Structure 1
């Protein structure tokens, strides 16, 4: 299993080039090497990753490995020119935290080790961190896509992440802390009914504070 709490400093760092088959580091080390292997071993998967990056980061065309001597890092291609038909490459020092974190999450999801079955479960802490709210919903589509090949679990407090047509009730587990005790479970019957009757979407249910886990015997949250 692989669990990720990505850090922009690690994602931006120069790293040794890895032997094929290695996976992305927990905080994002070896991002460039993993991207390079993905491009060589699975060009279609790399195109899919680049497409999702474009949905998450305005004008982004793709993220690639950049080799500097014996070391590996990343660069991102952006659309440029008044007509948007040009291309400009930004090196690691010039990349924003949001761009790096988006690239890191997508690489964790689409890395060759996951698609080859060597990582049966991927866990990611708050994959929407530093993304513009308008693009967060698109992240869920990437998560759903990767989940067709390996199990994916994410933790999040973002209502925007749930604002996507791919989100289903059975995908979501709610968390509540009551009197120092944490409860995790499927959304309770009241919440499910609200969503089933289309009175609210899942994102609206979460935003309203009515997304609670179905548990027996715990006291109602204090307001």
Structure 2
């Protein structure tokens, strides 16, 4: 609960810094709180640039209505790191049936899985 309150305090600050970076904000949170966290991240992104890393299918799914806000980071076979912003138009048919997290788990939006 304390972690959640700290995250919300940072994300809802009336005078945020120009850049907020959070690594795996969902760690230690109750699964039901992840949707609230996604809403807070969305709200903060209107006042500051927000960069979040996650391995949470739940958090990624909470962003299904804004796939352009997700950037997939993966390592190529050559060892290079590549970043790719998701495009809603390319995912439109998929998103009619699945959430972003499900597409990620299925390997449809990359993000190399183990």
**Ranges in structure 2 where 5+ consecutive residues have no aligned partner:** none
Determine if contact 1:194/1:200 at 8 Å carries over to the other structure.
Answer: no
Counterpart of 1:108?
10
**Structure with the bigger percentage of strand:** 1
Partners in 1 of 2:66 and 2:76 — Cα distance?
A: 26
- Alignment deviations for residues 30-82 of structure 1 (CA, whole Å, 9 cap, x no partner): xxxxxxxxxxxxxxxxxxxxxxxxxxxxxxxxxxxxxxxxxxxxxxxxxxxxx
Partners in 2 of 1:163 and 1:130 — Cα distance?
A: 18
Q: Runs of 4 or more off by more than 3 Å in structure 1?
A: 193-196
Indicate whether 1:164 and 2:62 are aligned. Answer: yes
Partner of 1:184, secondary structure, is strand
Query: Which of the pair has more CA radius of gyration?
Result: 1
Q: How large is the RMSD of aligned CA atoms in angstroms?
A: 2.7
Counterpart of 1:195?
94
- Alignment deviations for residues 138-189 of structure 1 (CA, whole Å, 9 cap, x no partner): 2101111112222211111111012336741111111122232221112379
Cα deviation, residue 202, structure 1: 0.9
Partner of 1:199, secondary structure, is coil
- Alignment deviations for residues 75-110 of structure 1 (CA, whole Å, 9 cap, x no partner): xxxxxxxxxxxxxxxxxxxxxxxx121112111112
- The size of the alignment, in residue pairs, is 112
Counterpart of 1:50?
none
**TM-score under structure 2 normalisation?**
0.79
**Ranges in structure 1 where 5+ consecutive residues have no aligned partner:** 1-98, 214-220
**TM-score under structure 1 normalisation?**
0.44
